[in-house]
Copies of this chain bind each other. A is one copy, B any other.
């Protein structure tokens, strides 16, 4: 098993604003993909994220307001199905610290390397959304390689 881990700090005093960006359609569409359907504010909900090259259906399996969001991937690329994605939030001085974990990859395949880098790019988009009001969700996301 292999995991993707990341940490960003968002300059903000509103931890709820970051939580909303992870649990509402509007928030998620502001940094990950414009083509987002469904709300993430109830456990059991399935959110559909679509990109040019495909997409993911993600079930919300845990919610602790302003503290943690937990997802399970239920549809998408084979390597993603059954993996879990955890978002931990905490305030630290002027920053909201986000610890990100994409857990349960069966093998450290080349696609996992790609997804690790791409997650970092999307987390920087989330940071930008909160700090400046503007993220860079798909299709305006920063491209990292020939898989986009």
**Chain B contacts for A4, CB-based, 8 A:** 5, 116
Q: How far in angstroms is the closest Cβ of chain B from A87?
A: 12
Closest chain B residue to A11, Cβ basis: B146
Size range of the interface on A?
20 to 34
Considering the chains assembled together, what is the distance between the CA atoms of A120 and B144 in angstroms? 10
Q: Is the CB of A114 within 8 A of B144?
A: no
Query: Given the complex, which residues of B lie within 8 Å of A116, measured CB to CB?
Result: 4-7, 116, 120
Q: Are B145 and A97 in contact (CB under 8 A)?
A: yes
B117 touches A123 (CB 8 A): yes
Min Cβ gap A117→B in Å is 4
Chain B residues whose C-beta falls within 8 Å of the C-beta of A146 in the assembled complex: 9, 92-95, 97
A70 in the interface (beta carbon within 8 A): no
Q: Which of B3, B94, B97, B145 contacts A108 (CB 8 A)?
A: B3
Interfacial residues of chain A within 116-148, with CB under 8 A of chain B in the complex: 116-117, 120-121, 123-124, 127, 142, 144-147
